[in-house]
Amino acid sequence: MLNVYGSKMCPDCIELEKAFAAEGVAYEYHDITGNLKELKAFLALRDSNEKFAKAKEKGLIGIPIVQTEDGSLTFKWQEFLKTPPQKAECSDGVCGVPQK
């Protein structure tokens, strides 16, 4: 099952939840702003993984992020959808992490 780290206050995280629900994507949501245990787990992941380097350089959080069953991480949550979302809150679809 996928693990998603996000926040109920993040527009892209909200968009992810709506899209995953609409397509029946199975995942476990870890709300980093609603639970201190989840925040600590996210920070441990963020502080030990180079995937977050650009976000940290820019002073950004780096959510939503999807962790797959094999432990790999991706900001490209749209790849888990059959059809792309109709409306995204950000042009790049990732809260504060520009895509190249």
What is the C-alpha separation between 75 and 7, in angstroms, rounded?
14
pLDDT given for residue 62 in this prediction: 96
Query: So where are the chain's domains?
Result: 2-80
Q: How far apart are CA 2 and CA 24, in angstroms?
A: 12
* Fold category of 2-80 in CATH: Glutaredoxin (3.40.30)
State the average pLDDT over residues 48-59: 94
Banded model confidence at residue 98, pLDDT cuts 50, 70, 90: very low
60-96 per-position pLDDT tens digit: 999 999 999 999 999 999 999 987 665 544 544 455 5
- 84 vs 61, 63, 81, 93, CA distance in Å? 24, 18, 6, 11
pLDDT exceeding 90 applies to what percent of the chain? Answer: 81
DSSP per residue, 9-45: T-HHHHHHHHHHHHHT--EEEEETTT-HHHHHHHHHH
Can you give the pTM of this predicted structure?
0.81
